[in-house]
Amino acid sequence: MKNFIFNILIFIFILLSGLSNYKVFKSYQEQLPLLADFNFRQENPILTIEKVENYQDFYPNLNSTMIPIKQLKANYYVRDNNLEKTLEYTAEGDKLNPFLFIGDFQRGRVYYNLNKIDSSYLYLKKAAQGLSRNQSHITHFQKTLARLSKINELDSLFEKVKNFSEEAVWQNQMYFTSLFKTLKDGHSYKDSLNAEEALKKYPNNRIIRIAHQTINLGLDKIGSANLFDKEALKYFSEKNYENAIKYWGKAIEIIPDDQAYYFNMARSLTLNKKLKRSDSILIELKSKSFFDDNGELEFLRAMNYIDDISNNKFRVCNLLKESKQKGFKAAENVLIQLEEQIGCF
């Protein structure tokens, strides 16, 4: 009799274990797309709310990284601006693990989306302070501070986190600094130092580059450079390349780190048959710290020699191949034409 009861208990245990293992396995399968959306598509997750609602979130109720599954699902209610469901699911998730501050972050996001910025500020501040190395928490809090024009708090936040922050945090700070302070109290020495450091860290970030110019030059100088650029473009369209060169030179004197000015001047020099000077400017540009190596420079250099291709075939072909490898589409088109004429490949 004892053996019979024991066998029954063993059978029940195995049955329950099998059921438990199945539910855990099923949950892990469902967690994969939830986690992919959460990690890589948080602002615009792709799963439908109907599908998400059918995923189990009570056994297990945490994923392998200790994120409450309720809060993985709450991400979709944030996307849909469903305040009631977001508050419900984030509150339930907080009971399981409040230490990641995901609930505060998601509540702050949904309030921001609903234009309830004061409420967003309260929750995103908690999220940013609670997990200050989380880049999403910081960037969203930066945007909320900007909406509320809390510039001093924005600066203070950045000084606390900048040493371990990524590009998005630096970009936000530079953008908001240039936006708010240019027309108000002006920029501080600290702003200038941060702008220099930002440009050094991320030289190919266009927003940071423009902000750097605004912070360090001011609107008056930028306005003057833009006027020179406008004049140069006018002369260029009229094929008055001599004056186009002159005015882009003036623009470079004011803003010496704008790649477009150098390229435009080089094009004008090429069309004005001043090929050596054009090539010299392009070679000089390549050594600049702000140079964005997208293949256009090699293409422009090739154009300086293409009229005398019989004596410069090797140089032209190599420059065009290098330009093509860097993704500059025009180089590929020219290479195809040259292949038919002289064989470049």
Looking at the structure of the chain, the number of domains it has is 2
Is it the case that residue 5 has pLDDT exceeding 70? no
Domain assignment present for residue 129? The answer is yes
Domain containing 310: what range? 250-341
Domain assignment present for residue 200? The answer is no
pTM of the predicted model as reported, rounded to 2 decimal places: 0.73
Report, as an integer, the average pLDDT of 124-144: 95
d(CA 153, CA 160): 11
Domain assignment present for residue 109? The answer is yes
- Write down which residue in 147, 172, 196 finishes a domain: 147
Domain assignment present for residue 203? The answer is no
- Write down which residue in 113, 147, 181 finishes a domain: 147
- Provide the pLDDT for residue 43: 86
Report, as an integer, the average pLDDT of 87-114: 94
Q: What is the pLDDT of residues 106-125, one digit of tens each?
A: 999 999 999 999 999 999 99
- Write down which residue in 125, 147, 169 finishes a domain: 147
Domain assignment present for residue 269? The answer is yes
Domain assignment present for residue 80? The answer is yes
Q: Whole-number mean pLDDT of the chain? A: 86
In this structure, what CATH number is given to the domain that contains residue 58?
Answer: 1.25.40.10
String of DSSP letters for 284-323: HHHTSTT---SSHHHHHHHHHHGGGHHHHHHHHHHHHHHH
Is it the case that residue 12 has pLDDT exceeding 50? yes
Q: What is the pLDDT of residues 164-212, one digit of tens each?
A: 889 999 999 999 999 888 766 678 889 999 999 999 899 889 899 889 9
Is it the case that residue 6 has pLDDT exceeding 80? no
- Provide the pLDDT for residue 1: 58
Confidence of residue 19 (pLDDT cuts 50, 70, 90): very low
Handedness of CA 214, 216, 221, 227 (dihedral sign): negative
Surface-to-core class of residue 110, CB atoms within 10 Å of its CB (0-12 exposed, 13-18 middle, 19+ buried)? buried
225: which 2 tokens? 């450079």
* 122 half-sphere exposure, CB direction, 13 A CA radius: 5
String of DSSP letters for 34-73: HHHHHHH-TTS--S-HHHHHTS--SSS-B-TTS-BHHHHH
Domain assignment present for residue 234? The answer is no
Domain assignment present for residue 6? The answer is no
